[in-house]
Amino acid sequence: MDFVDLQKLFPGISTLTEASTTICIGRLALIGIGILLIYLGKKGVLEPLLMIPMGLGMIAVNAGVLVLDPTSAQIMAEGRVGASAHGTLLMAPLVQQTDGLMYTLQIDFLQPLYTFAFSNGLIACLVFMGIGVLLDVGFVLARPWLSMFLALCAELGTIAGFPLAVALGLDYREAASIAMVGGADGPMVLFTSLSLARHLFVPITVVAYLYLGLTYGGYPYLIRLLIPAKLRGLKMPPKPAARITSDEKLAFVVVACVVLCLLFPAAAPLFLSLFVGVAVREVGLGHFAAFLEGPVLYGATLFLGLVLGVLCEASTILEPKILLLLVIGILALLLSGVGGIIGGYIAYVCSGRKINPVIGIAGVSCVPSTAKVAQKEVSRVTPDALILPEALGANISGVITSAILSGIYVALIPLLP
Amino acid sequence: MKTALTATLVIAVLATVLSLSVAGLMHLLFIAVRRVQGRSRSGR
């Protein structure tokens, strides 16, 4: 058997040797990162629900490259500069022409999911419906000012990330899209980048979800760095929490949905999805609630992770701006964490040293990861200290403030000269 | 850069006003629903 036959027999390996050095190294590095994500997900350092499918998708898309026949290669790689005849049978995110799309829909098994559920934001909305069912808005209604204040402080990175990105050379639309990573809210980033910077949608979304995993593993260190153990273990005096009835919660959902959709029509799909979930919970539609919080939420998260992993193809991800996006993304997320903790300190001082400053980090709207991280860090110092109700209030408010900022960016940025 | 900084300021002010408005809305709503419930319980 000569070498040519072997190349045909193992196209995954032969495409690796035929590709440019950059693509070859990129593919190998991304396979390595995929394995790392699975390892860190298994260890619980990163969010396993997202990282396991994402890591496997990343491995498959960079290992399973084959030589496509010239016609299909041209169709599947259309729009990609310097496209070769190499490709995968998983997904072709850059296809735009109808003919190419019809072709890939019939060939690539994840293409229907990407075209009909990912790129239009449906999968993000499904995640939001599931999250809505899990949310108890009573935590926010019990302490609306504190919750919204903390959430606003935790948007520091989302706001400061914009001029930072502009200073580093991105245009306004790209800068706003990457700044949204500071909100640590995947669906919002997806939605904003789709609305403002469609050409950077893939790398920005990948960067955002990679970093969302990092909040789970990185924020505990930030908390330990910025808040001394004595304050972290502060027990909050049990406040006789006002009992919020489901009627009150439903009234809030209806009014908030009307007001927020009126103010930010661009973010209406996300508001609708979130509030549908909350309304289903509060009205007591048990079957709907079970469906949304089970199959819909977990199904959407699984396929979201899988699509995100497959999006990490070397030729797509080696976008020249990716390094810049990685730097701005991590800075935005770091600033948001710091902003949340500053908010926590302000609340601690203003409340006469009664509020545990750790709850500030829960203002970063990665529901419910940041609230869980806050409670975990407090429990490490004082096992019987409970801050979860207040942390969840700030966490839910974080979703609202992220949606507000997404709406502002989508409405305001196109008006800039 | 000047435009970006001005826009950031506007965005920050808008976000603050809107977020605090939502908090105020929640607070008012809470009071209003409590009053309505109080009236219906007392039969008025």
Report pLDDT digits (tens) over A28-40.
Answer: 999 999 999 999 8
Mean predicted lDDT score pLDDT of chain B:
82
Mean predicted lDDT score pLDDT of chain A:
85
Decide if pLDDT at A366 tops 60: yes
Q: From the CA of B8, how many Å to the nearest CA of chain A? A: 7
Decide if pLDDT at B35 tops 50: yes
pLDDT for A320: 77
Q: Mean of the pLDDT values across residues A17-29? A: 85
Using a CB–CB cutoff of 8 Å, tell me whether A200 touches chain B: no
Question: Does the pTM exceed 0.90?
Answer: no
Q: Mean of the pLDDT values across residues A158-163? A: 94
Decide if pLDDT at A333 tops 80: yes
- Long-range contact pairs involving A222-230 (C-beta distance under 8 Å, separation at least 24): A222/A334, A222/A337, A222/A338, A222/A341, A222/A361, A223/A341, A223/A358, A223/A361, A223/A373, A223/A374, A223/A377, A224/A377, A226/A338, A226/A341, A227/A341, A227/A344, A227/A357, A227/A358, A229/A381
Tell me which residue in A259, A408, A413 faces B15 most closely, judged by beta carbons.
A408
B23 to A144: CB separation less than 8 angstroms, yes or no:
yes
* pLDDT-wise least confident of A66-75, A175-184, A352-361: A66-75
Confidence of residue A137 (pLDDT cuts 50, 70, 90): confident
pLDDT for A35: 95
Find all residues with CB under 8 Å of A285, minimum gap 6, and list them. none
Identify the residue among A137, A140, A152, A174 best suited for mutation to test binding to B, counting B beta carbons within 10 A and taking the highest. A152
Contact list in A for residue B16 (CB cut-off 8 A) is 152
Decide if pLDDT at A62 tops 80: yes
Confidence of residue A5 (pLDDT cuts 50, 70, 90): low
pLDDT for A188: 83
Tell me which residue in A160, A167, A260 faces B1 most closely, judged by beta carbons.
A167
Decide if pLDDT at B13 tops 70: yes
The residues in A 163-192 lying below 8 A from B, measured between CB atoms, are 163, 166-167, 172, 175
Q: Residue A170 in contact with residue A178, Cβ under 8 Å?
A: yes
The residues in A 208-247 lying below 8 A from B, measured between CB atoms, are 242, 244-245, 247
Tell me which residue in A151, A159, A400 faces B8 most closely, judged by beta carbons.
A159
pLDDT for A210: 76
Angle at A353 between CA A348 and CA A357, to 5 degrees: 35
Tell me which residue in B7, B19, B29 faces A148 most closely, judged by beta carbons.
B19
Tell me which residue in B14, B16, B22 faces A400 most closely, judged by beta carbons.
B22
| Closest to A391 in 3D by CA, of A229, A236, A184 | A236
Q: Residue A388 in contact with residue A371, Cβ under 8 Å?
A: yes
Q: Mean of the pLDDT values across residues A144-154? A: 92
Confidence of residue A79 (pLDDT cuts 50, 70, 90): very low
Report pLDDT digits (tens) over A242-292.
Answer: 677 888 888 888 888 888 788 777 678 878 998 999 999 999 898 999 999
Contact list in B for residue A159 (CB cut-off 8 A) is 8, 11-12, 15
Per-position DSSP letters for A16-77, written without gaps between them: HHHS-HHHHHHHHHHHHHHHHHHHHHHHTSS-HHHHHHHHHHHHHHHH--EEPPHHHHHHHT
Identify the residue among B19, B25, B36 best suited for mutation to test binding to A, counting A beta carbons within 10 A and taking the highest. B19
Decide if pLDDT at A80 tops 70: no
Confidence of residue A241 (pLDDT cuts 50, 70, 90): low
